[in-house]
Each structure stands twice: as structure tokens, then as C-alpha cells.
Amino acid sequence: MKHTPKAALRTGVLSATVLALTAGLAVAQEKSVTIGLTADPSHLYPLAGEELSSNIMYYHLYDPLVKRSPDLTFGPGLAESWENVDETTWRFKLREGVTFHNGNAFTADDVVFTVEKARESIRPDLVANIASITAVDDLTVEITTPAPYAVLPNDLAELLILDEDYTTETGDEQMDLQPMGTGPYMLEEWIKEERLVLTAFDDYWAGEPTIDQVTFRPITNPATRTAALLTGEVDVIQDLSVRDVERVKSEEGFKVLTRPSLLNVVLAMDTRAESPTIEGENPMTDQRVREAIARAIDVDAINQIVMNGLATPSDQFVPSSHIGYVDGMNFREMYPLDIEKAQELMAEAGYADGFTMTLDATNDRYVNDAQIAQALASMLAKINIDLQLNIMPKSNFWGYIRVPTEQSSFIMSGWDVPAGDAGSMYGALFYTRDKKEGYGQVNRGSYSNPEVDALVDQADATPSIEERDRILQEATRLLLADIPMIPVHYEQDIYAAREGVSLTPRVDKFIWAYDMDVE
């Protein structure tokens, strides 16, 4: 790079080197990295809410009992090991010698406190599958679940442990500004909307972090984010704009990193006898009509034209890393683009002349969401479905489409399951509505299939992961045949970095400096 603005010179690398040299010591160079994010975090207190930037901060500052790896495997975190005492009771052995940033020891009481605190907070969903928790001794907790629940450890990967004494003393509001966890980094400075600086916690239980100082800068405008990378003001950027990909690739000294995300963009079809935006009876109660719609949608064209090739067409409802994924099954091969076949199916079902309905979609939630909706309208026109578009910002959308979904027939939204398990998704999206508390609450198409319900029940009643996987795979087969919903594609996460930064994008998008290195 020809020009190095002063901003880059300012950063710790240089001053630290100078210091080390003047001291005449051969100490290792202080490493620092600056990361350009799309937004400033809203919170530093894990029980105050969740969104991506906040999540990224949480996992630097705090630790969960169970740690989620970059590719969604689950292993020991603050808990060293765990076992099932009986079908609904779990015993977690906690790690010894872990301290919070203020020096307080981490004990079983902190875990119990965190669970109880979460229940009263805005995130009771974090502990929805915990019936009770008790501290057996200082380093052992016993958790019971309301029913056998094989994936409890996966859920616990999202519960970040708080320091009981400190949190009680500090209060919820100040916790957002003065976080205190056991994580690999401590908060150094947070100037809202400008920068958030973390420094390494040298006593971190898994070993001192390689990078000593991490600075996060919120740069909302995508073009500015690219510019900040190219000028050397930041080392890594999140969410490189699609139109800048070629530009950054062609620039010497920079690299582009991509990874399919977990976010599956899906189309939910109403299966009630009468649907709010369709006149007369609802054609989509007929599986053939649903199949025709699936066959009329050219996912590859959407990928090439709307998404610039930066999407991965979905093969099932969950990615291959998840429990419940069926190897070798592919929605795209089951129902490839075939307009003639789709027309035949429509005719067989008695809808050769098509029908009119409305698609509800967002314009600020998913990558190019409004354009995808427009593309769908022209694709479905080929099988005589007159698709009206009802596009709105996400602040209106979630309330509008909410179950009991009294205004929608056809909805485009996204779904991701960072817990690595199809069960919670199937339970929420496909379980018959109003049948069981905590199930079917997002079943916007009012899909109801007793066989699927039974399989979800079975999966949620077995304490064995293998058994759960087998049962959920069966549910996947049923659902792919019955098509209550059309999976479209996974968005691609795109990062860019200068050469010399080693970064492996995580499936859950949580950039984690502890796993990074810089030269």
C-alpha cells in the first residue's frame, strides 16, 4: 500500500515496538487488531438483549458453560464435563481456578444466579429448558429439564455466566456499561458509536490471548467500511459489500473470506382452508400446488442475478452440521426448476388458471430481500400465480406476520439455529399450533401434520443425541416430501482483511479475537 494515514500509525503496534526497543528488551511485540463492524453493540450485558454486535462483545467478555466451536461442535467451556444422572437430570462439573476479571472466583453459585437472573430478564428463552438448578458443591451444579432433552448442552452455549456479587452490586443498567465476566478480554474503553477497546485478560483459564488489544469500530456505511480497510484504518471488516468483493480481491495485500451462514431464507405457505389474501378456498392446502410453487422458483437465477453468486441454495431446512440433517437429501434435486411440470401439477390440482395472493417480505432484514421478492413475483407468474408484493421494514414486519398470522398467506423470512439442532426449528415452525405450550409458536403457515408432531414429541423425549438425530431425520424426510415451506438459500457471510491477519469465519458470525492472530 502506498499511503499509510496517520490513523494507522497511531495504533499500538508502533508505539509498543518503540517502547520495547527503548527499554532494550527483547519482549514479544504487543499485538493489536482493529475490526470494522457494521454497528455499535447495543449492550454489554448478556441478559439485556441480543443482536450480532452485542453477541460478538459478549463472547469476548464472558464465557458459557459449554463452548461452541467455529463450526458448531460443542465442547467444555466453564464446565469441564457433564453427565446425565437420569433422563432429566444433568450434572455439570465446573472448571477449577477460574476467576472473573475483578479477581472473584467463579463458583457454582454464579451459575445458579445467572439462570435465575435470566428467568426474570428479557431473555427467559435462554433458560426455557431448565426446570431447576442447584449447586451441589462449589464446583458442581445439577440441572433438571422439564422433559428429557438431549441437546441441553447446546442450549447452554448461549448462556453466559455472570459474577453474582458484582452483578448484584452493579445493577442491570450499569452492567451494560461496566461488564464483568471470565472471558478472554476485558473492557478498556467504550466510546459509543466510535470505538470499543478490549484488552487481553492475562489470567484467562484457556491461556493468555495472542492479541493483546482489540479495537472494534462501528462503520455502518458499507462503502466507508471498504475504504477504511483499504486505507489501513482497520485490519478486518465484517460484511464486505457484495459490489466491493472484486475490488478488494484485486487490491494487493488484501483478502476476501466467505462462509455460508446459518441463515436459511424460507418461504412459508399458508395451509389453512381459507387464507387471508386468497379469494375462495386456499389452493396451497394441496401438496401439488406447493410442489408447483417450489418447482417454479429458479433458485440459481436468484443466486446469480440478485445475489451476485454469493448465496448457497439450501438443500434442506437446516445445514449439514445440524442434528436432523439427512445425508444425500436435496430439495433442489427433489424439485428442480421445471415450469412444465409445475404447470401440470397446477392443472392436476384444478388451478390451471392460477390464483392471486400476497407475499409479505422485508426490505431491510436480509440481503437483497426486496429484490428477491420481485424475482419471485415474476417466476410465479409463469404458473399463473399473480403474486402481489407487500414489502415493509422489519420494525413492522415481525408484528404483522406474527402468529395467528391473520393477514398473511405467503411469507418470506429467515431462520437460523445456532444451537446446531433441527428440533427447536421443527418444534417452533412445523408443530401444530395451540396444541402444546412452547410449540408451534412461529408456525405461520398453520401447518399441521400429526406424524411430524409425534416425531418432534419423540425427539424431545429422548435423552440420547443419536436417537434424537434419527427421529429428526425422519421428520426432515416427511417435511421435504410435504413441503410446508420452501427453503431458498443461505446467505453468505463475507469478510475482508489485510494480509497477515489470520481469521477463520465462524458459522455463527461471532468474530472472536481469541482465535485470531496478526503479523
Question: Which stretches of the chain bind other proteins, using CB under 8 A?
Answer: 2-7, 10, 39, 42-43, 48-50, 121-125, 128, 172-173, 176, 191-195, 217-221, 223-224, 227-228, 230-231, 233, 364, 393-400, 402, 413, 424, 428, 437-438, 441-442
Q: Tell the smallest beta-carbon distance from residue 86 to other proteins (Å).
A: 27
Nearer CB in complex with other proteins: 228/349: 228
Nearer CB in complex with other proteins: 39/461: 39
Nearer CB in complex with other proteins: 419/488: 419
CA distances in angstroms from 125 to 49, 373, 415, listed in the order given:
11, 31, 16
Q: Tell the smallest beta-carbon distance from residue 460 to other proteins (Å).
A: 15
Burial 238-267 (b: 16+ CB within 10 A, else e): bbbbbebbeebeebeebebeebbbbbbbbb
Tally of residues, the chain? 519
Nearer CB in complex with other proteins: 231/448: 231
Q: Tell the smallest beta-carbon distance from residue 8 to other proteins (Å).
A: 9
The DSSP 8-state label assigned to residue 320 in this structure reads T
Q: Tell the smallest beta-carbon distance from residue 129 to other proteins (Å).
A: 12
- Compute how many other C-beta atoms are within 10 angstroms of the C-beta atom of residue 403: 15
Residue written as grid cell 497511531: 10
Q: How far apart are CA 187 and CA 198, in angstroms?
A: 5
Q: Tell the smallest beta-carbon distance from residue 60 to other proteins (Å).
A: 19
Nearer CB in complex with other proteins: 42/308: 42
3-state secondary structure of 187: strand
Partners of 66 in the beta sheet?
A: 76
Strands 32-37 and 213-218: parallel
C-alpha radius of gyration, the chain, whole number: 25
Q: Tell the smallest beta-carbon distance from residue 438 to other proteins (Å).
A: 6
CA-nearest of 408, 315, 311 to 368 is 311
Helix pair 422-429, 450-459: axis angle to 10 deg = 140
Nearer CB in complex with other proteins: 32/107: 32
Nearer CB in complex with other proteins: 163/233: 233
Q: How far apart are CA 40 and CA 402, in angstroms?
A: 28
- Compute how many other C-beta atoms are within 10 angstroms of the C-beta atom of residue 488: 24
Cβ(490)–Cβ(468) below 8 Å: no
Q: How far apart are CA 477 and CA 325, in angstroms?
A: 9
Q: Tell the smallest beta-carbon distance from residue 377 to other proteins (Å).
A: 24
Nearer CB in complex with other proteins: 442/503: 442
Q: Tell the smallest beta-carbon distance from residue 83 to other proteins (Å).
A: 29
Q: How far apart are CA 469 and CA 266, in angstroms?
A: 22
Q: Tell the smallest beta-carbon distance from residue 232 to other proteins (Å).
A: 9
Nearer CB in complex with other proteins: 3/280: 3
Q: How far apart are CA 456 and CA 444, in angstroms?
A: 17
Nearer CB in complex with other proteins: 234/269: 234
Strands 254-269 and 236-238: unpaired
Q: Tell the smallest beta-carbon distance from residue 221 to other proteins (Å).
A: 5
- Single-letter residue type at 344: E
Cell of 223: 462503502
Q: Tell the smallest beta-carbon distance from residue 463 to other proteins (Å).
A: 23
Q: Tell the smallest beta-carbon distance from residue 398 to other proteins (Å).
A: 4
Q: How far apart are CA 351 and CA 219, in angstroms?
A: 50
Nearer CB in complex with other proteins: 84/121: 121
Residue written as grid cell 395451509: 271
Nearer CB in complex with other proteins: 2/320: 2
3-state secondary structure of 513: helix
Q: How far apart are CA 63 and CA 129, in angstroms?
A: 20
